[in-house]
Amino acid sequence: MDLEALKSKTIQSLDRLGHQVFFPDQGYGLQDWLRSLNVLLDDFETKAAPLVTIPQGYISKRQEVVDRLSRPPEFPELDSAIAQAKSEEERLSAALERHGAAHVSTKLISLNRQRDQLAAELDRVRARLSEKEAEPRHIGFFGRILGKKEPPSSRHEIDVSRAEEQLIYLESQLKALEEEEMSHQENKEKLVLARERLADLEAKKVERMQFVEERQEAAKLLAKEISSIEPS
């Protein structure tokens, strides 16, 4: 093979390497790519040695490119966003596990039933109190002289007051459970969004770790150096 054919073949191989896709799940990443690059360049230099003196400019550029890609850039902002997304996903997942949806649903049904029963009972004791208040009063002689009125039955008033207090307490329990259930539904929606965000960030990192721009630039620089090599 003459020098021009060797250069042309090597430059074509460099172009293919520059556009090669990584498959991390299949065990092919940047370090494997660098090994392929070094094998290609070693082969070029071995075959070119009888035809030309390899210039120092090419040797320096090769070393510069390999050193640069051997220390690939990190992605602190992307890594930080991924860590935050994972933390949020774990927090929401734990909150949903603690919620006990079946228990809350059963308790809501029970409290609603108790509230309905207590509301009906309150209506009954109020009706009894109204009936008692409507009954004729028996006021003694001195009471009539002083213009006093007989008070309604205290027992019915106590029953009404007790039922009202119990109903208020039940309403507060129901409100707390309903708020908890609403928070549970919100957390479920947030968890879906958190997982979508995490998947999107991880996909971006996988794409970024292809180092497409860096590898294409490296291939172009080396191709330029090789194309400029001329016979001694």
Angle between helices 56-70 and 30-48 (to 10 degrees): 170
Instruction: Specify whether the backbone of 134 is left (phi greater than 0), alpha (psi in -120 to 50) or beta.
Output: alpha
pLDDT at 62: 94
The encoded tokens of residue 20 equal 């090669």
pLDDT tens string 102-143: 556 677 777 778 878 877 777 776 776 676 666 655 555 445
In terms of Cα–Cα distance, which of 11, 2, 3, 9 is closest to 222?
11
Is the distance from CB of 37 to CB of 17 less than 8 angstroms? yes
Give pLDDT, residue 150. Answer: 47
Q: Residue 99: what pLDDT?
A: 61
> d(Cα 25, Cα 6) in Å, to the nearest integer?
34
Burial class (CB in 10 A: 0-12, 13-18, 19+), 219: buried
pLDDT number for residue 203: 86
- Determine phi and psi for 2, rounding to 5 degrees: -80, 175
Strands (E), 156-214: none
pLDDT of residue 132: 65
Domains of the chain, residue spans? 3-72+211-227, 78-208
pLDDT value of residue 210:
81
Q: Compute the distance between CA of residue 100 and CA of residue 167 in angstroms, rounded to an integer.
A: 25
pLDDT beneath 50, residues of the chain: 141-142, 150, 152
